[in-house]
Chain A
Amino acid sequence: MIILAVVNQKGGVGKTTTAVTLAHGLAQRDYHTLLIDLDAQGNVADCLGLETGNDLYRLLFPGMALPLAQGVTPSGRPRLDVVRSDRTTTQLKIALGAADMREYVLDDLLKDASYDVVILDCAPSMDVLHTAAMVAAHYILIPTRLDQLAVKGVRDVLTTLQGLSRISTCQLGAIIPTFYDRQTNESLLQLKHLARHFKEQVWPPIPQDVHCRESTRYGKTLWEYAPQARALLGYTHTRGQSVGGYIQMVDRVEEVLLR
């Protein structure tokens, strides 16, 4: 089992869309996948067309925690289960703040999980669940918009990861540029800058695509709502191959992280 945490301390960079699209993409490729929403906004359930729920609260509340198998919700898609989140996650974080060994709550929860891949969708903040995710995960994936503030968020995540090195073996899996806009110099400049520093850990970018927002409104994943969307297929390169997009991201996850 591989645990991937989708993190960036900056909000609005496409973490939830990336986590949901990746989870459903892997499930479609026959990986038994669990998607855990660690954000009190409960947007993972919205993206999958489910009611928000307190699954996470029931699974992690100190002293009352249920076993994983009793707390997951089927997503309605083959091989994809989900642990939903809602406002009770805020109470959970307060309760965990006073608990011993709080950094290990997710690690303990997932110890005996029978999934091929677990994806943790983190909140855009530095809290106890964020730390627990980075302790439990094998790799972090950092989606980032190609602008100065979001790229600063990348640096903050890497600083946090470095700070946790005594209790976590989590490594940087990839930086995933999102909302890539070919029309602006800033996107290209920031992409080049990231690629220069992180080399092959910067994966091909996800093109900006209105289908991402629309699919959320209908409670469908991109694979269901717009299988021909540019955000999935990427750009067509001059030699005819596709570059970027979520399909290539799922390919990379399979090639690089799930080997």
Chain B
Amino acid sequence: MSPARRKPAEGDNLIDFDPAALRADPAVRALIGQEERLKQEARLSRRQREKVIKERRKIRERREQHTCYDIPPQLRQYIKTLAEELRLPASQIAALALLRFARDWQAGTIDLAPYKRPSRSPKYDWNLELDPAEWGV
């Protein structure tokens, strides 16, 4: 068995120290996590390893398509329910909705004025205040 595949025996005859109650350095934690993952992968069969590599590549390729917006939970639930009904991915429905909004915005058929309220944040001038009654659509 190659050394990479051998599972290391922990706690065997290691130097003892008095326990100290502090947290680990984040970079050390990240490195240990990465090393452990690589070591775990090294113990997989060739087919399983290829699968893991393929999945990781897919995740990396999709990273640019990922985004994170805060939306009201009722609206989120509505998109989810709609996606199940139409048997479509929720992401694609959300993408279509955003695309339609962008086109309407460019055509000047959307007016944000009724929703706009001044913001106290130093980052934004305005907030859009949506009527909670409309969240569930």
Contact = CB atoms under 8 A, between A and B. Distances in A.
A154 B8 CA distance: 22
B120 interface: no
A204 B31 contact: yes
A26 to B, nearest CB: 19
A191 B4 CA distance: 17
Interface stretch (A53-61, A67-75, A79-87, A193-201): A193-201
A203 interface: yes
Interface stretch (A1-9, A15-23, A213-221, A237-245): A237-245
Contact of A237 (B14, B16, B24, B30): B30
B42 to A, nearest CB: 10
B32 A192 contact: yes
A201 B22 CA distance: 8
Interface stretch (B33-41, B64-72, B77-85, B123-131): B33-41
Contact of A201 (B20, B31, B34): B20
B24 A188 contact: no
B15 interface: yes
B25 A197 contact: no
B17 A203 contact: no
Interface in A162-216: 182-186, 188-193, 195-205
A155 B20 contact: no
Contacts of A241: 30
Interface residues of A, number: 36
Contact of B20 (A151, A199, A204): A199
Per DSSP, are chain B's interface residues mostly helix, strand or loop, or mixed?
A: loop
A198 B8 CA distance: 21
Nearest to A235: B31
Interface in B28-61: 28-32, 34-36, 38-39
Contacts of A151: 14-15
Per DSSP, are chain A's interface residues mostly helix, strand or loop, or mixed?
A: helix
A114 interface: no
B27 interface: yes
B16 to A, nearest CB: 8
Contacts of A248: 27
A195 B32 contact: yes
Interface of B: 3-4, 6, 8, 10, 13-25, 27-32, 34-36, 38-39
Interface of A: 148, 151-152, 154-155, 158, 182-186, 188-193, 195-205, 235, 237-238, 241, 243-244, 248, 252
Given A148-B15, A198-B17, 4 more contacts: A186-B8, A190-B14, A198-B22, A243-B31
